[in-house]
Amino acid sequence: MLKKILFSFLAITVISLSLFLIKTEQRENVFADILFQEQTETISAIDQAKESVVSIIKTEELTKIITNDLGQTQIDANFKQVAGGSGVIVSSDGLILTNKHVVDFGDKYSVILNNGEIYDGKVVARDPLKDLALIKIDEQNLPVIKFANSQNLKIGQTVIAVGYAMGRYKNSVTKGIISGLHRDLIASDSKGKTESLSNIIQTDTAINSGNSGGALINLNGELVGVNVATELSGQNVSFAIAANSANKAVRSYKKYNKIIRPKLGVRYSMLNPTIAKFIGLPRKQGAWLHSGTEPAIVPESPADKACLLENDIIFEINAIKITEDLPLSEVVSFYEPDQTIGLKVQRGNKVIILKVKLGSFE
C-alpha cells in the first residue's frame, strides 16, 4: 500500500514538474516573440522614416591675410560650420520642416538628403508662436514623412528619434518612451536666448546636438513630434513639438504662403483641483486668466473686444472641455483666424457665454 502511495506521489510530482517546465518554456517563447516583434517593428519604422530626414547646415567663410617670408600676401580661406540641425521632408516638392532655432543664422542653408545629395535651401516661413520653420529646396519626388495624430499619444508609448547627431552622424536613432504630455517649459540656447514652449511632448529618448528639428516617430514610422530640446541638468529628459501642431504649420503655409496661428489674446494658467483649492477658485478645471508681468487680457486683442476679464475661467470652447490634458492653447489651435468661437466662462459665481472672433499671429 505504501509503495502505491509513493509511486502515485512521484508520478504526480513528475507530471506537475513537466507541466511547469512546459508552461515556463511557453512563457519564454511568448516573451521572445514579443521582443522579436518590437525589434522588427523598430527596424521597419526606422527604414520607413529615415529617407525623409535631412541634415541642415550653415557655414561661413573665414578669411585672413597671410604674409609669407618673401613679403608676399595671400588670402587664406576656409569654411566653418556655424549652425546645424535636422529636418523632415513634408512635401514631395522639397518642403522641409525644422526648428526655428536651427535656422536663426539667416535664410540660406545647405540641405543634405539621406542619399548624400546636397541642395541649396531657403527659409520660406517661420512660425510666429512655435519653434518651427520651413525650408524649401528645388527638387521633386522626394520621400515624405507621414503625420500621426498626436492627440492619440499615450504615456509609455514607444517612440524613436531620428536625426543627424552632432550634425554629422546621419540616421542616428535613439529609442525610448513618451514620459509626459502637454508640458510647458522655457527653453534657452547657447546664446542665452529663451523661448516659451507649450503643449510639448516629453520623452526619455536621447536628443543629441544636431537632432533638433528631426523626427520623433512611432513604431509605424509616422511623425509624432519634432525634436526641439533636452534638459541638460537631468538625464533622459527630452522634448518634442507635437505632430498636430507641426502639421497645422505646414497646412497654413500651403494655404497662405506663410504660417499663421489663431489669436485669442489672454495669459492664463491651467487649473487642477489642487491649484483651484489653494487659490480659492470656484472651478477645478479650466484656463484661469490672470496677470503676471503682463496683463491677463492683451489690449485690443479678440479677448479684449469680447469683454473677457482678469480672473475669468474659460472651461469650454464650442462644447470642448478645457483641461490640463486638453489645454486652452491646443483647443484654440483647432480653429482658424477670423473664425468665431463660443466660450463658456466662469465669472465669480456666474457662468456666462461669450462669442469671440479669433485674430491671427503671423
- Name the residues annotated as catalytic: 101, 131, 212
Q: Is 328 helix (H, G, I), strand (E, B) or coil?
A: helix
Read off the C-alpha cell for 171: 540616421
Residue labelled with grid coordinates 542665452: 192
Distance of CA 106 to the CA centre of its chain: 23
Q: What are phi and psi of 312, to 5 degrees?
A: -65, 150
Distance of CA 283 to the CA centre of its chain: 30
Bridge partners of 78, per DSSP, are 62
| Cα distance between residue 296 and residue 272, in whole Å | 19
Write the DSSP assignment of 263-305 as a string of letters: E--B-EEEE-HHHHHHHT-S-SSEEEE--SSS-SB-TTSHHHH
What does R_g of the chain's alpha carbons equal in angstroms? Answer: 27
Amino acid at 125: A
Which residues of 34-132 form beta strands (DSSP E)? 53-67, 73-91, 95-98, 108-112, 118-126
| Cα distance between residue 187 and residue 14, in whole Å | 64
Q: Which of 275, 281, 299, 291 is nearest to 345 (CA)?
A: 281
Q: Is 232 helix (H, G, I), strand (E, B) or coil?
A: coil
Interacting residues of 269 by C-beta distance below 8 A, sequence separation 6+? 275, 287, 288, 290
Q: What are phi and psi of 39, to 5 degrees?
A: -60, -45
Cβ atoms < 10 Å from Cβ of 196: 10
